[in-house]
Amino acid sequence: MKQHLIVLDLDGTLLTDTKTISPYTKDILSKARQAGHQVMIATGRPFRASQLYYNELALTTPIVNFNGALVHHPRNKAWDAMHSPIAMSVVHDVVDSIHKYEYNNLIAEVMDDVYLHNDNDELMNILNMGNPRVTMGNLKFNLLEDPTSLLIQSSESNVPIIRQHLHDVHAELIEHRRWGAPFHIVEIVRKGLNKAVGISKVAHEFNIPRDRIIAFGDEDNDLEMIDYAGIGVAMNNGIQELKSIANEITLSNNEDGIGKFLEDRLKL
């Protein structure tokens, strides 16, 4: 069988609800690699929060982090990495414009450094993964370089309002996504970035055409990737919008949806 590029979202897709990779799916992914296929991760997480799974799968491929704002090769520093941060002027405009809305916190990430506007123990439990350098305090004074991503934490009811404002006022400069439950967070990256941009770069490096890309996802940050891939697969636990554009729907993240699909499709 010809070489395929297998692209894995993490949360709600590769990872079970306990944030682990099931032994069965891990074994199938290993068999896929032994059969000559390429396996990679494409996630909204920073690398520090995805490295554990990258290493667990013993991957040797590039990885897409921050929903496409960072595409790099953890095992090859000479690889042509792509880091596309948000201009500081845009960050200031966004922060100034949302002050009239109710929000709980602002978080900026510069690669693996974290800048937190207000102290928040719940958020720190997530952001501390990988032991980043954390700076606390007003972003206007502490954030001195263009961030890879900007996060806005708000109440569940205010997230759609903030997203509508971002769409109406800043659509030409940024992309924004909503995190899945239980966190009510809007994630912002530079305009034109998404997971599909990252995997297209990697697929080109491997000389694998779109029709041999199999991508798995569950949330709205997977929409472009699932649409781009020749075989876009939505998890059964995924959002309806993603299922409606996917080529296939597999079992949920807790039912080895990835493993069962690949075993059948690639005859592993």
Catalytic residues: 9
Q: In degrees, to the nearest 5, what angle opens at C-alpha 115 toward C-alphas 202 and 64?
A: 10
**Placement of tokens 């290993």 in the chain:** 30
Identify which of 73, 162, 227 has the alpha carbon closest to the alpha carbon of residue 150.
Answer: 162
Identify which of 258, 266, 268, 239 has the alpha carbon closest to the alpha carbon of residue 8.
Answer: 258
Contact present, 257 and 238 (Cβ < 8 Å): no
Strand pairing category for 213-217 and 5-8: parallel
Contact present, 200 and 229 (Cβ < 8 Å): no
Q: What phi and psi values does residue 211 have, to the nearest 5 degrees?
A: -70, -10
